[in-house]
Amino acid sequence: MLPGPTLLYACPKCGQKIANESLMSGNTFGARYFSDGKRIAPMLPEFPDLIRCQSCGFFFFLHEQEPVDELYRFDDQFDFDLSEIDQAQAPGLDDLVLALREEVARKKENEIAIRMDIWRAFNDRSRNGNSMFLNENDKVLYHRNCEVLIALIEPKEDHFKVTLAELNRNLGLFDTCLKLINSLEDQRWNNLKKQFTMACEQGETKVFELK
Ligand SMILES: [Zn+2]
């Protein structure tokens, strides 16, 4: 794994500087894959994309911004005063829900990205062995979010069909899940199809690790 430069961004609203790490190269050695498409790869860390500015609260995606500067480790430039700069942090569940009501979510692709993060943030609780819902509101939010994602995501490519199948399974809609899974024709999905089918037969709605 080879780290890339630290990328410096400026909040488009207030100008506050935000630093995000980058990666020159990595690999998927030791990676774990889950039914909701999440990959946990120690040699391929992911860096935040959606940011809530710690200074003014504005939400924006870093991939929609140009870095204002790049800092290289072992470089003289690293005299830079990093104390004035916020480190990019991935928003937690509460902030993600808040972001849905903001300007950043008006673009369909952004709304999908935020809702996918909400979905996986709930699933993370299950991945970590905790209960997914702390209260009834959580449950309503999770289900509603899955339903909206199903309405927003078009099954243009196979991997979108897998996402839709998983969302339907999470809602307990096993017949729809199986229909979507069985519409995948490419052989490379055979192992995944088997595991999704077994989960549906067992009436399992929670995220699971793919073998
Ligand atoms: Zn700001």
pLDDT in tens, 106-155: 999 999 999 999 999 999 999 999 999 999 999 999 999 999 999 999 99
Q: How far is the CA of 74 from the centre of ligand 1 (A)?
A: 29
Q: What is the dihedral of CA 94, 131, 49, 11, to 10 degrees?
A: 20
Q: How far is the CA of 13 from the centre of ligand 1 (A)?
A: 5
Helices within 73-129 (DSSP H only): 93-99, 108-127
Q: How far is the CA of 202 from the centre of ligand 1 (A)?
A: 48
Q: How far is the CA of 60 from the centre of ligand 1 (A)?
A: 9
Q: How far is the CA of 3 from the centre of ligand 1 (A)?
A: 27
- Can you give the pLDDT at residue 80? 62
Q: Is the pTM of this model over 0.85?
A: yes
- Can you give the pLDDT at residue 76? 61
Taking residues 182-206, report their average pLDDT.
Answer: 97
Q: How far is the CA of 65 from the centre of ligand 1 (A)?
A: 13
Class of 105-201 in CATH: mainly alpha
User: Which of the four pLDDT bands, split at 50, 70 and 90, describes residue 72?
Assistant: confident
Q: How far is the CA of 137 from the centre of ligand 1 (A)?
A: 30
- Can you give the pLDDT at residue 71? 87
Q: How far is the CA of 84 from the centre of ligand 1 (A)?
A: 13
Percent of the chain with pLDDT over 70: 96
pLDDT at 33 over 90: yes
CA 92, 211, 148, 126 dihedral sign is negative
User: Which of the four pLDDT bands, split at 50, 70 and 90, describes residue 75?
Assistant: low
Beta bridge partners of 40: 32
Q: How far is the CA of 85 from the centre of ligand 1 (A)?
A: 12
Task: Please state the φ and ψ torsions of residue 17, each to the nearest 5 degrees.
Answer: -80, 140
Q: For CATH 1.25.40, list the domain ranges present in the chain.
A: 105-201
pLDDT at 175 over 70: yes
Q: How far is the CA of 110 from the centre of ligand 1 (A)?
A: 19
